[in-house]
Amino acid sequence: MKISIIGSGNVGSHLSIAFENHHHQIYEVFSRQKSKASHLASTLYQAATKTDLDFSKSKAELFILAVSDDAMIEVCAKLILPENAILAHTSGGTSLEDLQKLMLIHHDLPVKCAVFYPLMTFTAGKKLDLKDVPFCIESHDEETEQKLVGIAQELSNVVYLISSEERKALHVAAVFACNFTNHLLALAKGITDSEDLEFDLLKPLIRETFRKALATENPADVQTGPAIRGDETTINRHLDYLKEDENLVEIYEIMTESIQNI
C-alpha cells in the first residue's frame, strides 16, 4: 500500500521502517520539526520530506497519524487529504469518534477514519521486532478495517479488533503496567543512591518479580512483601525510614493499602 507518515517520533519511525520492510512504499513524511522529518525520510527508500499538511495531491492511500494526543487537534485543523483517503491514528487514548469529529469539522472531502494502535513502548534508535506486539484496529468502514488488519498481520502475529472503549481501558492498564512500574523502579534507585548502594543489587529481584508476574494468570496470586503478609511492624519501620520524604510516604501508604485491599 502507498503510505504517508504524519509524525516522525518513535511510533512513526518504527512503523515507517516496518512498513517498508514488508514492501509498502512510504511516499511522504511530515513533522512539525522539519529536521526530524528529513532525518526519518533519509532512512527510507524514496520518501519525501513534507513541509506542510496539504496532502491533496499525494499518491498515498493510507495516512498514519502518529502524533501526540495534544497535537492531534492542531494537526487535523490544517490537514488536507485526498478524497476517500484512509487516516489512521496510532493513539491509545483518542477515540475513533474524536478523530472523525475533527475531520468533519476541518475537512471538506470524505475521509475514512481508523485506528492503527500498536500496544508497545518504543525507543528511539532501538530496533524492535513487532511480531509479538499487539496491534489494535478499529474502523466503522469494513473495507478499511480489513485493509488495516491485513497490514497489521504482516507486521505482527497479534492483531485484534478493539473498540475505542476497550482501547481506553487497555491504555490505562498499560500506564499502570509500564509507566507507573518504571517510575517505581526509578524511586527505588533514588533510595539506593541516597545510601550509596548499587541499584544492581535489586536487579535479580526485579527480574524474578517480572518472571513470576508474567508466568501467572493473575499477578496478585504471586504478590509478596510485608503488605500482603500484614506485617505492620516492618511497614511502620519502612514508613519511619521514609518520614523525611512526604511523597515517598504517601506512595508507600497508598500502595500498601491497595495491596491489602485487592
Asked if 104 and 131 touch (Cβ cutoff 8 Å), the reply is no
Q: In what order do the strands lie in the sheet with 86-89?
A: 48-50, 25-30, 2-6, 62-65, 86-89, 112-118, 135-138, 159-161
Rounded Cα gap, residues 194 and 242, in angstroms: 12
| Contact between residue 148 and residue 114 where contact means Cβ atoms under 8 Å apart | yes
Please state whether the predicted TM-score (pTM) of the whole model is above 0.85: yes
On whether the CB atoms of residues 65 and 7 are closer than 8 A, the answer is yes
Residue 240 pLDDT: 98
* φ, ψ at 246 (rounded to 5°): -60, -35
* Residues ≥6 apart with Cβ < 8 Å to 154: 22
Q: In the beta sheet, which residues pair with residue 54?
A: 80
Q: How far is CA 157 from the centre of its chain?
A: 18
- pLDDT at res. 159: 98
Domains, the chain, ranges and CATH? 2-162 (3.40.50.720), 168-261 (1.10.1040.20)
Residue 210 has a pLDDT of 97
User: What is the model's pLDDT at position 127?
Assistant: 87
Whole-number pLDDT of residue 125:
84
Residues in the chain, pLDDT under 50: none
The pLDDT assigned to 102 comes to 96
- pLDDT tens, residue by residue, 94-129: 999 999 999 999 999 999 999 999 999 999 888 889
Integer CA distances (angstroms), 154 to 24, 127, 224, 242, 257, in order: 11, 17, 40, 50, 44
